[in-house]
Structure 1
């Protein structure tokens, strides 16, 4: 019995010591948080509630309710979430005293100091996010000892130095993001041990060297974003081992050689950015085996040869030959850009309209001939079409403006002729229409005013005739209008200058006439945007002549009056004396008749006569 009592007392004693010890640790963590706060600058008072309690002895766990602080079931600080609080200053070395901290997020703040080296002592960390700040210096080493670490995000800072080599020991890592700083050197070889890594982001640094072949050992990788560096050499063929890869970005660098055919082995690959490098040779036809590929950007390289694919972003290369006839065989293509090459031949006449998810079609600045295929209007997904700078001819497809999601249509510098399809009521999304430098004719359709989202309309350098549609002046979003170098006639609509959004208009070199309306933006328009219209006057142009067309008519009447009076006078003078006596009575009657007629004519003209009627007097003739 005494033995049991002794054991019971010992247990109570140990319990009291343990409780006191735990309370002491909790108090230490509370104090640690206050020391962390003391090194921060908090202009928005986000951490105003971080205060020492009045009764510290009984409130050791009060800090677990502070803003951005979470504790685990034992009352120890487990999460510190201080993102987006406009904090700056320094991250205190005392943070290493939060031994149970598994989650640290201080992203989206204003820190411009260096991270403390003691951060590497937080071996319980699973997630650390210091992104979207201005941290400087090297990234702390030591986190490789955090066996449970799954995510490191240090993107969008000003870190420098080398990438932390020891992170290769954090074999539980799934996401590693060091994008957008000033790291130098090469990719650490230790990273080959990160077999669980799904996301690797190193883009936008000053990294050099070759892409290591060991990258092919990271079989879990789904996303690789390491472009905008100074990597050189070829893409390692081992990249074809990354069977889970969906997104590959190696854009903007000094990579060279041929594009590896092994990319075609990646059945889950959806997006590839390889633009602005020094790749040469032909596009490997094996890429067509990457059946999930929906976006491929190889632009601004030195790739040559014909196009073997249906999924392309290839602008500014040296591609030749025609577009493939198979282009429209139900491809998952979303974006086709082969502009600024040397492609020739006709656009495949059938198929483009059947591409189920095609959104952008960019064929500009090539040597394409023929016409735009009629079936392109069958597409319900197309929002962007640019075929400018080719040799396309014939008329525009009648229903091309009926594509429901069409926002931008550019077809300038071609040989299109005929009238614009009068289908503008069917294009509610159209914001830019550029048909300049073609041979289009006829009148500008009134229905163009139904495009309530149209911002830019360029019809310059065509053969349009007729008057400017008055409804254009009511278009709510039209900001830029160019109708120059056509054969438009008539007057500028009276309310043209008061268009609600109009900022730039060019009507030069047409056959417009009459006064320029003195309202809105027309009062400050550059006169060069109106020149070449001999009949225009007023406003910013020289004033209109004071002699109006009505006054010219009255002037003609006055001339007629003079001529009539002259004829009558000569007739009287030339009449012989013998016939005069017989003619006198009739002449007097005629004269009074004419006088009455001229008087009425004079009153209607409401102008002074050029001569004055006087009393008739007998004229004596002498032989």
Structure 2
């Protein structure tokens, strides 16, 4: 029976209950920070160099469980999570750090904190950790074996540091691990077998290290694995048979290793695979047809291997309907472009360059309505370019044998068009003038003739690269660049163009390269180009330019210039002492030099400038100029007077050619300031006096030529001088000390050896150099450079604007 007292007690209880409930709803949950935890956090923060401009937001008087980056257990008040990612700690983790007093920590995230030094073994004391992220710091040393103490760990990320040594076998103890990320370090040795114990692992990323040996068979135990990235190591051998067990993989990468085996024949078993990348190895065998039966497949990278035979796809309805990107470039595939490629209706990018593919472009490609990017360059294709391709945005068909164009009935969307090195002839294709969105145009190395049409003016507001080199274009070079504010490269070299140099280029403030060499342009030196802030390379070589290089009251800027070749013209006059004072691009190296000559920065085009060279009469081209290359070639003109003193300030200069002019007076001693100089030619001038002994200090020097001057006195005895040919000192009757260079007979009997010397000099003149060491070490003469040194093959470019993937830059002689 319920009494009145019972009712009263019940009423009191309910009042207290609702009061507590109201208080709970009206105020946030209280997390009472333990004093020892607060003390440990504050001492840990005090172990680092705090940026005075960015003080710690932790307030000593407040509850530490409410501090930014700190989370506590609601009941115990113990700190269970510490996330200081991207906080500049600027110091190392100490062995006795107060951090290790936070023994209840489950999550520790110090990603991007500028941590330095080694990972202390005492980190293994935090045995309750389930997440540990120390990525993107400057950690060094080995991964401590004590990492195996963290047996509850599910996420481990030590990537993007400078860790060395082997991956400790103790990592294999962490049987709850789901993510293991050790990428982008300096780790060595084999992949430990013990990783096969991580049966719960979903993501394994060991790329960009120095790992060697074979992939261990134990990897096949990781049956839950979703992603495996082992790229950019030195792994080799065969993929283990157990690899077939990884049927849940959706991402697999072995890019840039040393595999020389064949791909497994059971590829179709990876029925969830989306991304497959084995590019940059030496895999052998025929085209892996079974790979393309996987329904989930989206991207495939097989480029830069040794695959052979024809490209064939399984004649089955099980083909990969989701395939979007296919890279087959740089292999040994032959035969035609397969008609069956039309089954991949979602294909957006197709890369078949640098193979031996033959025949015409199949009309079945017209069914690929989503195709946007097509690269068939460097094959043996021929015939007409089909009209349906004009709906693409990026098309490179260079280095084939295409000879004509098929008209298109649809509006063109082309933004980047590379037809370089084919067999196109006749006049400039006027329909190109209607490609309103065109940004990249390369028609070089073809048989085009006639004039360059003024209608190109219609494109100049969008063009970034205009390359018409090595055709037979003639007539006046049109002055059409008033609106070309995006233009970065302009190359019309090796044609038959006449008239004036186009002054409207002054509007091209982004211009980096100008090359008009080997034409018939007749004009004064365009000193106004010096005002262009980004101009790096200028070649006026082998034209009919005339007059002085210097005009009083006209400042010579060229602040960004790296390479200038104005040789073989008719320039005259003297150069004042301060002539090179503002050429800062040859004085210091900047961060931009890491990008220059490798790609045109910002926006889009990735391409490679090259140098055409003649080595003893044999033409070569090197597809990449060394990034720190600096060169001046004023040879073959009529410049006279003293060599300007300001040239001694160009500390980064690698090549200097003032030959075949009329310079007088002594060879200036300030040339010894050019400590990185590798090539020096002062021949065929009227220089007198002695060769400065200070030039003996130029230890990078590989080639020098002082012949045909009025020099006298001793030849320096340094190694760099003694390695030169006798012809480098020819026709300086006052020079002596040539016995070791020319031989006793030549020195004592100059008349009887005259014929031999003339032959030697004739051989040297075949170089007609512009000499440069291309990717060489100190004192190594790597390429007498020779002839027309920058004919600029623009290849393997792409555009970030169009979402293109960068291809790895390689350097090869063509």
Taking structure 2 as the reference length, the TM-score comes to 0.57
How much has 1:308 moved relative to structure 2?
2.0
Question: Which of residues 147, 151, 154 in structure 2 aligns to 1:150?
Answer: 154
Question: Where does residue 472 of structure 2 map in the other structure?
Answer: 463
Deviations 1:490-542 (A, max 9, x none): 54445444543334333344455576767445999999626445xx6557565
Question: Do the aligned partners of residues 261 and 47 (structure 1) sit closer, same or farther apart at CA in structure 2, a change above 3 Å counting?
Answer: farther
Question: Where does residue 320 of structure 1 map in the other structure?
Answer: 334
Question: Do the aligned partners of residues 260 and 163 (structure 1) sit closer, same or farther apart at CA in structure 2, a change above 3 Å counting?
Answer: same
How much has 1:341 moved relative to structure 2?
2.2
Deviations 1:65-110 (A, max 9, x none): 3342222213221211111122122324332221221111111122
Question: Where does residue 358 of structure 2 map in the other structure?
Answer: 344
Equivalents in 1 of 2:82, 2:523: separation in Å?
Answer: 74
Equivalents in 1 of 2:367, 2:501: separation in Å?
Answer: 43
Equivalents in 2 of 1:440, 1:530: separation in Å?
Answer: 22
Q: Is the 8 A contact 1:105 1:129 kept in 2?
A: yes
Answering whether residue 330 of structure 2 is matched by residue 297 of structure 1, we say no
Q: Aligned ranges for residues 45-84 of structure 1 at < 5 Å?
A: 46=54, 48-50=56-58, 52-53=60-61, 62-74=63-75, 75-84=77-86
Equivalents in 2 of 1:49, 1:207: separation in Å?
Answer: 42
> What secondary structure, in the 3-state scheme, does the structure 1 residue paired with 2:480 have?
helix
Answering whether residue 485 of structure 2 is matched by residue 476 of structure 1, we say yes
Q: Is the 8 A contact 2:460 2:481 kept in 1?
A: no
Equivalents in 1 of 2:499, 2:106: separation in Å?
Answer: 77
Answering whether residue 454 of structure 2 is matched by residue 446 of structure 1, we say yes
What is the CA RMSD across the aligned residues, in angstroms?
3.3
Question: Where does residue 510 of structure 2 map in the other structure?
Answer: 501
Equivalents in 2 of 1:323, 1:527: separation in Å?
Answer: 40
Equivalents in 2 of 1:503, 1:296: separation in Å?
Answer: 35
Q: Is the 8 A contact 2:299 2:326 kept in 1?
A: yes
Question: Where does residue 26 of structure 1 map in the other structure?
Answer: 34
Equivalents in 2 of 1:527, 1:274: separation in Å?
Answer: 40
Q: Aligned ranges for residues 248-267 of structure 1 at < 5 Å?
A: 248-267=252-271
Equivalents in 1 of 2:391, 2:490: separation in Å?
Answer: 29
Equivalents in 1 of 2:536, 2:148: separation in Å?
Answer: 66
Deviations 1:547-586 (A, max 9, x none): xxxxxxxxxxxxxxxxxxxxxxxxxxxxxxxxxxxxxxxx
Deviations 1:43-62 (A, max 9, x none): 35655344654xxxxx6xx2
Question: Which of residues 398, 416, 420 in structure 2 aligns to 1:388?
Answer: 398
Q: Is the 8 A contact 1:314 1:338 kept in 2?
A: yes
Question: Where does residue 139 of structure 1 map in the other structure?
Answer: 143
Deviations 1:369-409 (A, max 9, x none): 21222211234xx43x2211111112x344599542x4432
Question: Where does residue 278 of structure 2 map in the other structure?
Answer: 274
How much has 1:220 moved relative to structure 2?
2.3
Equivalents in 1 of 2:283, 2:327: separation in Å?
Answer: 14
Q: Is the 8 A contact 2:121 2:147 kept in 1?
A: no
Structure with the larger helix share: 1
Question: Where does residue 812 of structure 2 map in the other structure?
Answer: none
> What secondary structure, in the 3-state scheme, does the structure 1 residue paired with 2:267 have?
helix
Equivalents in 1 of 2:175, 2:423: separation in Å?
Answer: 62
* Structure 2 segments unaligned to the other structure (5+ residues): 1-30, 314-322, 550-568, 573-814
Equivalents in 1 of 2:410, 2:510: separation in Å?
Answer: 23
Question: Where does residue 193 of structure 1 map in the other structure?
Answer: 197
Question: Where does residue 93 of structure 2 map in the other structure?
Answer: 91
Equivalents in 2 of 1:440, 1:522: separation in Å?
Answer: 33
Question: Do the aligned partners of residues 90 and 516 (structure 1) sit closer, same or farther apart at CA in structure 2, a change above 3 Å counting?
Answer: closer
Question: Do the aligned partners of residues 214 and 332 (structure 1) sit closer, same or farther apart at CA in structure 2, a change above 3 Å counting?
Answer: farther
Larger radius of gyration: 1
Question: Do the aligned partners of residues 505 and 185 (structure 1) sit closer, same or farther apart at CA in structure 2, a change above 3 Å counting?
Answer: closer
Q: Is the 8 A contact 2:335 2:356 kept in 1?
A: yes
Q: Is the 8 A contact 1:182 1:205 kept in 2?
A: yes
Q: Aligned ranges for residues 525-604 of structure 1 at < 5 Å?
A: 529=540, 531-532=542-543, 542=570
Question: Where does residue 56 of structure 1 map in the other structure?
Answer: none
Equivalents in 2 of 1:493, 1:402: separation in Å?
Answer: 31
Equivalents in 2 of 1:427, 1:278: separation in Å?
Answer: 40
